[in-house]
Structure formats: C-alpha cells, structure tokens
C-alpha cells in the first residue's frame, strides 16, 4: 500500500469542518499547492466529501469524529484493540494474524479499500463515516459448535446500539441489522480450521453511522445511516462497547451455545409475523416469518405449516 501519511494529516486538519486554505496546508506540510491537491484527491478517493471554494480553500461537508485509540482504550480496560487508519479489510487483517492473536483481539479501521460483505460482495467503506470492526475468537469445540453464531452477533450488536440510543434497530435473519426497514449494518463471520480441531473465527461488523449518498457507490438495496435517522452515537464509545459486549457474549456462547439467545432474537426480529420471500439460489419461497428455532433456522409459515430453513436471504414481499 502506498504511503498515506500526507492524506491522513490532511484529514486530521480538515476534520473540524472549517475552511483551510491551500497555502495553510502547504506551509504546515512543507509542499506545493499542486502537491496538496494531489493528496486531497486521495482523500476524496477514500469517500471523504471535500469541497473547494475559491478564496476560502478546502472544507469537509461535515466535521469528522476520528477514531481515537486512547479514547477507546479508556472505555475498554482489557485493551487488545488496534486502530488502523487505512487497510484492505479488517477481517483479512486478523485472518493473516491467526496464530499470533488471542481470542477477543479486535481491530477497527477508518477506511477499508476492499471491505467484504456476504457472498463475495463488496462492503462500501468510506473513510471516517462508519464503524468497521473485526474480532477474533477461537472456538475449542470446533465448527460444529458455531451454529447460530452470526445470529448471536446480530443480537449483541442490536442491543448495544439500542443501549447507546438507537432504539429502533432490529435484526434481520441471518446477519443484518435494520432500521426503518432499511439496512443499517452487516455481519460477516469467517471460520477456518481443520475438522475435529478448534475453529478460528473472525467476526466482521460494518455499521452505517454517517455515510452520504455520494460515497455509497453501487449498493443494491435500501440502506440507512444513524445520522439520517437523527441518532448520534460516539464512534469511539461504540467501538469499545461493542468489543467488550461481544467478548462477554462469546464466552457465554462457548459455554452454553446458541440456546440462551433464541428468546432475545424474537424481541428484536424486524420481520416477525410479516410476509416475506426467501431466496435460496434460484428458488423463491414465500411465507410468514415466525422467528427462528433453537438452531437458528428461519421459520416460515406456509399454508398453515411451519417449515425451517438454514440457507438463503429474506426480504419483505414486494421488495
């Protein structure tokens, strides 16, 4: 990855949301205005909305609250969370360190160049607008014990966001968070390890906090951010609270499995008792969502009978 020192310094200077002249940047950083402009373009490439007004200089569309490792650690006594300004993928960062990281080790990033979603999709990750967090866990019981894990993570994320003021956040089977019937956050759980051995688990979470339309790229579904919904949550507090709560929940999951979380899902289920369609490959299955079973399978009522499904994705009928 190319040197990003200057673009990061520019973002730190611009984060206050005030105007800054090219001459001021040049004097501060010891370079020409042409060079400054080149680095501003890198900042824009990261999804940061920088605009220019002749005679006034550069300014962000809105101030940025940057991640602050010391502020996160002050709320996270156990520490073990790395703050990474620019990275390909937070999940990949931990996957490449399996063998040296400890269960519960986590990282957050300001920007992901190659953020990953489910089924090989790209996770759009503009700089400084959202939260991108990954956490490593080692499940000694192996792959077989991981059933329901992504649903448990969704429950924990929704409960944390509600505690911090986002009351309307709900879960969508199997691993998204919704607000006002639009996608607010996604979860990607990647599991590796040999059969019969411990499972190495990397949990990735992306939460839309203040992403603007221009940075959203080609997202192919309705999405929302907390700012649009009038909800302000401190990014550093969210990173610490989510990491700490996930660590506690994973210890419980390792001890008791998914069973203690099933009832908590129903209270958060965005689609419960609503007509949905389930897409499994080319198949489209219609029914009424009736929550989940003890294994985390989706329950659909079809012609008066309840059927359980472990694969696929759901959406509201008509969407």
Binding site for biotin, residues? 89-91, 112, 116-118, 183
* Cα–Cα nearest to 204, from 114, 315, 143, 86: 114
Cα 133 to Cα 127: distance, rounded to the nearest angstrom: 13
Has 183 been annotated as catalytic? yes
Residues 6+ apart with CB under 8 A from 180: 168, 224, 229
Could you tell me where the DSSP H helices lie in 165-309? 235-256, 262-268
Cα 245 to Cα 233: distance, rounded to the nearest angstrom: 16
Cα 134 to Cα 285: distance, rounded to the nearest angstrom: 33
Alpha carbon distance, N-terminus to C-terminus of the chain: 40
Has 118 been annotated as catalytic? yes
248 SS3 class: helix
Q: Are 120 and 138 in contact (CB under 8 A)?
A: no
223 strand-pairing partners = 183
Residues 97, 183, 212, 264: which is the catalytic one?
A: 183
Sheet of strand 81-87: strand arrangement: 81-87, 106-112, 131-139, 199-207, 182-192, 176-179, 170-172
Cα 137 to Cα 121: distance, rounded to the nearest angstrom: 23
Cα 117 to Cα 278: distance, rounded to the nearest angstrom: 19
* Cα–Cα nearest to 114, from 103, 129, 124: 124
Residue positions forming the annotated binding site: 89-91, 112, 116-118, 183
Task: Give residue for tokens 């209270």.
Answer: 267
Cα 96 to Cα 61: distance, rounded to the nearest angstrom: 36
Cα 221 to Cα 300: distance, rounded to the nearest angstrom: 23
Residues 44, 118, 138, 212: which is the catalytic one?
A: 118
Instruction: Report the catalytic residues.
Output: 118, 183, 317
């Amino acid at each position: 990855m190319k040197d990003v020192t200057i673009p990061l310094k520019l973002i730190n200077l611009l984060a206050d949301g005030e105007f800054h002249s090219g001459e001021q940047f040049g004097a501060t950083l010891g370079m020409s205005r042409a060079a400054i402009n080149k680095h501003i373009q890198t900042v824009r490439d990261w999804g940061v909305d920088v605009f220019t007004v002749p005679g006034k200089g550069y300014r962000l569309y809105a101030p940025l609250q940057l991640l602050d490792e010391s502020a996160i650690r002050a709320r996270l006594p156990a520490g073990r969370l790395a703050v990474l300004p620019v990275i390909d993928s937070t999940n990949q960062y931990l996957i490449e360190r399996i063998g040296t990281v400890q269960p519960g080790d986590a990282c957050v990033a300001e920007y992901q160049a190659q953020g990953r979603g489910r089924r090989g999709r790209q996770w759009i990750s503009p700089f400084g607008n959202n939260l991108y967090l990954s956490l490593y866990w080692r499940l000694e019981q192996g792959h077989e014990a991981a059933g329901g894990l992504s649903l448990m993570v969704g429950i924990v994320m929704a409960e944390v966001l509600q505690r911090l003021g986002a009351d309307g956040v709900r879960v969508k089977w199997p691993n998204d968070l919704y607000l006002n019937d639009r996608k607010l956050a996604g979860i990607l759980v990647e599991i590796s390890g040999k059969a019969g051995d411990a499972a190495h688990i990397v949990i990735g979470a992306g939460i839309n906090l203040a992403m603007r339309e221009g940075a959203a790229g080609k997202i192919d579904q309705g999405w929302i951010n907390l700012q649009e919904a009038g909800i302000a949550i401190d990014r550093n507090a969210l990173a610490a609270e989510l990491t700490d709560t996930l660590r506690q929940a994973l210890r419980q999951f390792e001890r008791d499995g998914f069973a203690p979380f099933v009832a908590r899902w129903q209270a958060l289920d965005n689609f419960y008792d609503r007509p949905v369609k389930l897409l499994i490959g080319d198949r489209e299955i219609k029914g009424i969502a009736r929550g989940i079973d003890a294994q985390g399978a989706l329950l659909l009522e079809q012609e008066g009978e309840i059927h359980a499904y472990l694969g696929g994705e759901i959406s509201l009928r008509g969407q």
